[in-house]
Amino acid sequence: MPTTGLIVCSTRSPRAGLQISTFIHETIKQAHPQASITVIDLAEWNLPLYNEPGIPSRITSAEGYVHEHTKAWSREISRYDSFIFVTPQYNWGYPASLKNAIDYLFNEWKGKPAMVVSYGGHGGGKAAAQLQQVLQGLRMVPLESTVGLTFPEKGIMARAAMGEDLGLGGEGGFWAGEKEAIQGLFRELVGVVEKSSLPSRINTTKAQTKPYDVCILGGGATGTYAAIRLQDRGKRVVVIEQNNRLGGHTETYYLPNGSHVDYGVQGVFDDKLSRKFFSRLGVKWHRVLPSFKGEDFVDFTTGRMAESPVGLVQSLLALVRYRLALRQFPFLDKGLYDLPDPVPEAIFRPLREFIEENSLEDVIPMLFFWAHGVGNMLDMPALYTFQNFGVPHVSAVLGGYITPEKGMYELYRAAAAVLRNVHYQTKVVEAKRSDSGVTLTVQHLNGTHDTIEAEQLLVTHAPTVEKLQGFDLTQEESDLFSKWSWRNYYVAVTSNSGIPDGRYVTNTNPRTGPGFLPEMPFESLIQYMGVPGHPNTKIVGQMNFTAEDAKQLIASDFARMKTAGTYSIREPEVVAFADHSPTTMMVSPADIQSGFYRRLYALQGQRSTFYTGLTFCSDYSSLLWAFTDSMLERMQQG
């Protein structure tokens, strides 16, 4: 599903706009439970009358604006693939606050589909028509049809003007008959956004050949780093990215007041390579040390407070012993899966056996904090916990890490300004590879196709069979790439939760044995990130655990805490949400033992194709960048 911003256009107080927008949101979710919709309330943004000195159409990134409120607004609108405008009609037109918010930007709106829902005494049709004209002028793609919600009588319209409850919950009250139209229009909106994902010869333009030295698939942390490094070496590079931005698992939520919450990647190792990359992009950083002050332990299955599984001092001492125990596996020191032959049995046996043999029960909570993405970690091959929190990770934790002053996304915003050739919202639909080069057919959001020729291909996303549809996979590639299993992983920022600022709420289940670890699916913790009222959370589930499941789990966990009286839970709202699936790519113990990773690494360079990313290296930016450097050196050697 595309990401959609639902804009509450009314800013009056009192007002009916928010409850009408909630009705529309809930109506859509009833028919489209997988829809990724975020409410954008113009009243909360409270943008001043346009005061930028520049012309928006000539500004291509948030940093091109002068004022912080404009930069934050630019970042917010850039996050979405499409929009729903919920607007009242005032004096035959839409609100001035909406026109002001629209006029702040241009390129952030350009090319994106939009649907309009208006409301008023006669349905707000004139406001909708005027708004559609403006959206067309912005080069947006407004749907031809709109939905007009008419107040059935003047008394109800008067109640709406006073902000009284209109009874729109549940079945929808007097607008129940409009639900089908709203759902149908949203279905049309999704179709406009996603039609380019369906190969169509009707929309195919004449392919154009573009010769490059290297084509990079994926613009996450690894792909972006590789592109910058290669471009700096004078290479002709093109990046193919399915999303509308770079950064992959980097997620930064910017608030109207200029503050931010990093709810994906929160920092990188404080090492020479990372500092050099930040400096190359002109990004200022500060050092951060992990803090466990203010940690609460709560059993999320009951909502009640629980005892700490182990004291902090005991945990830190166990961490030192854990690091020493890992010294028997020096081949893991760089975060690689470059395993010896034969593979040591402790590597593919369940983690709990390694813990028991080395009397490391006190380190389990610390392992869970950093390696919760493994899921039920004690039952999984120890390799995957070691790769999520092993020797290099422990060293980094003890030494601290660095993060950009303005949020992790600033690193990739800076990279986007430097890179010359990035195709956003584009995917490969056909790939032909040989020892002399690669030829890719790519499909853009508007349905057009291009042919890209390159001497080498660097795949940075997880190489699953699903992600490589259209590729000329060999039998060996198909066999290896079909063995993966993984965890679905979601991240979110919440507001109005009632969780006290400054608290780290760790999910703890005293009934599960050593470490008191929760069982999948679970929220690992609710984490305060320094911005009052906006903690983040991370959710881990099986491969069939959906984004909607994750949001429901967040809501039910808060509800249990409220019922138990653990915190003064209010009305929690998810204000930012992202899907980082798949993560923690795993294979069976038998496959590890029989040499899966030797076969995987042997693919490097075959038919001009190279690989980097989380399936070849521990999923931490600094380790990925170091491994990518080694791959770039190998690519240069041919």
| Size of the chain in residues | 638
Taking all residues of the chain, what is their mean pLDDT, rounded to a whole number? 92
Helices and strands in the chain: count of H runs, count of E runs: 21, 26
Q: Where are the alpha helices (DSSP H) in 474-518?
A: 475-481
Q: Quick check: helix, strand or coil at residue 111? A: coil
The pLDDT > 70 percentage for the chain reads 97
The pLDDT score that the predictor gives to residue 195 is 59
Domains in the chain: boundaries = 3-197, 212-246+419-483+585-637, 247-289+400-418
Return the H-helix or E-strand segment holding 487: strand 485-495
**Whole-Å CA distances, 352 to 380, 485, 594:** 8, 20, 22
Task: Answer yes or no: is pLDDT of 203 > 70.
Answer: no
Task: Answer yes or no: is pLDDT of 196 > 60.
Answer: no
The pLDDT > 90 percentage for the chain reads 79
The pLDDT score that the predictor gives to residue 25 is 94
Tokens representing residue 152 in the block:
């059935």
The pLDDT score that the predictor gives to residue 204 is 34
Average pLDDT over residues 171-188: 88
Q: What pLDDT, in 10s, does the model give residues 454-498?
A: 999 999 999 999 999 999 999 999 999 999 999 999 999 999 999
Task: Answer yes or no: is pLDDT of 10 > 60.
Answer: yes
**Which CATH superfamily hosts domain 212-246+419-483+585-637?**
FAD/NAD(P)-binding domain (3.50.50.60)
The pLDDT score that the predictor gives to residue 172 is 67
The pLDDT score that the predictor gives to residue 115 is 96
Average pLDDT over residues 299-318: 94
The number of C-alpha atoms within 13 Å of 24 and in the hemisphere containing its C-beta is 32
Lowest mean pLDDT among 52-61, 105-114, 180-189, 467-476: 52-61
Task: Answer yes or no: is pLDDT of 54 > 80.
Answer: yes
Q: What pLDDT, in 10s, does the model give residues 320-344?
A: 999 999 999 999 999 999 999 999 9
**Residues 628, 465, 416, 256, Cα dihedral to 10°:** -120
Distance CA 353, CA 345 (A): 11
The pLDDT score that the predictor gives to residue 1 is 66
**Of 252, 251, 289, 283, the residue nearest 270 (C-alpha):** 289
Q: Supply angle C-alpha 80, 459, 368, rounded to 5.
A: 70
Task: Answer yes or no: is pLDDT of 348 > 60.
Answer: yes
The pLDDT score that the predictor gives to residue 208 is 46
Q: Quick check: helix, strand or coil at residue 44? A: helix
Task: Answer yes or no: is pLDDT of 171 > 50.
Answer: yes
Contacts of 38 (CB under 8 A, 6+ apart): 3, 4, 5, 6, 79, 80, 575, 576, 577
**Which CATH superfamily hosts domain 3-197?**
Flavodoxin domain (3.40.50.360)
Q: What pLDDT, in 10s, does the model give residues 107-159?
A: 999 989 999 999 998 899 999 999 999 999 898 989 988 999 998 888 888 88
Tokens representing residue 191 in the block:
């179709």
Task: Answer yes or no: is pLDDT of 92 > 80.
Answer: yes
